[in-house]
Chains A and B, each alone.
Chain A
Amino acid sequence: MSAGFLLIHARPGRVWSFALSWLLFAAGIGAYLWVSHARHLDNPEDRVTPTLTQMAKGMYGAVMRSAEEDEPTADDAGFRTRLTHSMLWKDTCASGRRFFYALALLIPAVILGLHMGLFPYVGQFFLRFVLFFDKIIALSLLPILFIAFGIDELSKVMLIVIGVTPTIILDTFNLTRGVPGEQVVKAFTLGAGDFDVAYRVVLRQIAPRVLNSIRLNLKAVMLFLFAGEMIASTDGLAYRIALLRRHMGMDVIIPYVLWVALLLFLVDFGMRLLNRTLHPWFEEA
């Protein structure tokens, strides 16, 4: 170790890097188990820090049994039917559906941002309004949305859309503006028309960055989704978490939280993979 430990020029080996990167995970899990164990020694009925077996049991129930508000599945039903009628399945589908609706509604946002950046009249028409809209705190609109759209799916999807689209529009707008003017002029000199330039030159170039921007905003999408579900919903992952809080159902809440994190990670990872395969020319992905 010529360059000292913890200094800028230190070069940790493979084993060290691996061990260090997992250390905090191990410490967190260890601390939890220790606290949980201590509390259970104190009070065997403790519900705040369920043990691993309790969580596994709670999760097994969530995966294998239907939600309280539904018809219970027959005990002799097959694994598949039980899984597809289970609480976790139902909640994941409900949240996932809203999530993907919201993602689909980001596509028009990207198109709008692109046009605003390229066509001066479109830009003038929308820019000020979108800038204004961007400053509105979407959550403060929640009551208005519930009054205007009712408390069903539409208001929840609208909450996500209102919360996230201005960011995506403005980001796409800026990315579009960032494309060097030479590229646009050049495309015209090669015989391209306005829409060729928009879709074949500019959109293709900004696509990987737009995708990255959407990836960064996934968290915001989830945030608005959870807010909507916690306040007014009859299913969904956040609804379940809010509901179980009333019963102090930590044995299910903790696995649910981890499950949501895993799902989000997988979506993000999938988009990264997609970005890499679709845009091999893009280096900084």
Chain B
Amino acid sequence: MAMPLIQIESVFVAYGNPPRAVLAGIDLEIEEGSFVCLLGQTGCGKSTLLRLVLGSERPLRGRILIDGREHHQPDSTRGYVPQRYALFPDRTVLDNITFGPEVSEFGLAGRLRPAFYRRRKELRDEAFHYLRRIGLRESDASKYPHQLSGGMQQRVAIAQALINRPRILLMDEAFSALDSGTRREMQSLVRELWKSTGTTLLFVTHNIDEALRLGTRVVVLAREAPELGSRIAMDLAVPDPCAQEDIPSLMDRLERVSCPAEAGGTVTLSV
């Protein structure tokens, strides 16, 4: 079998003084082309795990290999759609989308060469193609992010990450601020883009239903006790496509592992 694209090996992370464990011994292997949804209660370290894969943070112990190599800073193999501040506020929609290719092909002085302007025209055409694909109008191209609604901003952020064709795309609660209708739309868009581009997706969400609809695999992080760090409480392969009638039972199972305190019924009231 081929080597997994992402290998997370007994990763341990703690913050604060005295250190409080956030992730304690995470082991995860992710195959190329899979769509992994990361579930877990708030504060269990999902964003932290994404930051580790990005390379903007390093684990206290353990290591993370991408394609067999450790990476100590973010680079263009891993695209990122953060939950907030996803777009550059000082650039128009079009410039936000073309930022990636522009900056990776031309250095600071590269803008002075005529080749830059030729290439930029091509990139703009390509950006318009993406713009149509994410369902924005051409007239939106010259708007600034603050003039767009939250859903439109998320779409642009996805297009911005996708135009660079990263091998891995990390999305952190990308849809949590959207209403359910827009959310559905965005889910099918992401699913479709994932199928057509073949990127490996690591998708953080709070929403179990969303995780089951989107992913080929659902990984749940949970703490066994409040003072311990999170571990992988469940690693579930989702049949593709997930049968509608399976969803309730799967949801039930996932809910039980991700909120052990509530499910276990060990909550006692002090009088």
Q: Flag A87-109 by CB within 8 Å of B: 1 or 0 each.
A: 00000000000000000000000
Distance in angstroms from A239 CB to nearest chain B CB is 42
Cα distance A181–B80 in the bound complex, in angstroms: 12
B192-219 interface (Cβ within 8 A of A): none
Residue of B56, B86, B108 touching A195 (CB-CB under 8 A): B108
Cα distance A205–B75 in the bound complex, in angstroms: 21
Chain A residues whose CB sits within 8 angstroms of the CB of B56 once the complex forms: 181, 185, 188
B89 touches A191 (CB 8 A): no
Residue of A190, A195, A201, A280 touching B76 (CB-CB under 8 A): A190
Decide: A191 near B82, CB < 8 A? Known: A185-B54, A199-B108, A281-B144. Answer: no
A190 touches B164 (CB 8 A): yes
- For the complex, is A192 an interface residue (Cβ under 8 Å from B)? yes
The residue of chain B having its C-beta at the shortest distance from the C-beta of A180 within the complex is B85
- Which of B96-104, B173-181, B236-244 touches A? B96-104
Cα distance A281–B96 in the bound complex, in angstroms: 13
Chain B: residues with Cβ within 8 Å of the partner, total of 32
The residue of chain B having its C-beta at the shortest distance from the C-beta of A195 within the complex is B108
- For the complex, is B88 an interface residue (Cβ under 8 Å from A)? yes
Cα distance A281–B161 in the bound complex, in angstroms: 22
Which of A180, A189, A279, A280 counts the most chain B CB atoms within 10 A?
A189
A172-186 interface (Cβ within 8 A of B): 180-183, 185-186
- For the complex, is B107 an interface residue (Cβ under 8 Å from A)? yes
Chain A residues whose CB sits within 8 angstroms of the CB of B164 once the complex forms: 189-191
B54 touches A187 (CB 8 A): no
A149-206 interface (Cβ within 8 A of B): 180-183, 185-193, 195-196, 199-201, 204-205
Decide: A190 near B146, CB < 8 A? Known: A199-B108, A279-B90. Answer: no
Chain B residues whose CB sits within 8 angstroms of the CB of A185 once the complex forms: 51, 54, 56, 74, 80, 82
The residue of chain B having its C-beta at the shortest distance from the C-beta of A191 within the complex is B104
Distance in angstroms from B22 CB to nearest chain A CB is 17
Cα distance A281–B164 in the bound complex, in angstroms: 25
The residue of chain B having its C-beta at the shortest distance from the C-beta of A199 within the complex is B108
The residue of chain A having its C-beta at the shortest distance from the C-beta of B106 within the complex is A196
Chain A residues whose CB sits within 8 angstroms of the CB of B166 once the complex forms: 189
B43-101 interface (Cβ within 8 A of A): 51, 54, 56, 73-76, 78-80, 82, 84-86, 88-91, 99-101
A74-96 interface (Cβ within 8 A of B): none
Chain A residues whose CB sits within 8 angstroms of the CB of B258 once the complex forms: none
A190 touches B90 (CB 8 A): no
Decide: A186 near B82, CB < 8 A? Known: A191-B164, A196-B107. Answer: yes
- For the complex, is A283 an interface residue (Cβ under 8 Å from B)? yes
The residue of chain B having its C-beta at the shortest distance from the C-beta of A188 within the complex is B74
Which residues of B pack against A, CB within 8 Å? 51, 54, 56, 73-76, 78-80, 82, 84-86, 88-91, 99-101, 103-104, 107-108, 144-146, 160-161, 164, 166
- Sample (6) of A-B pairs whose CB atoms are under 8 Å apart: A193-B103, A193-B107, A195-B107, A205-B88, A280-B144, A281-B146
* Contacts A191-B100, A195-B108, A201-B88 supplied; 17 other A-B pairs, CB < 8 Å: A180-B84, A182-B85, A185-B74, A185-B82, A186-B85, A187-B99, A188-B56, A188-B74, A189-B74, A189-B76, A190-B103, A193-B103, A196-B107, A199-B108, A279-B90, A281-B145, A283-B146
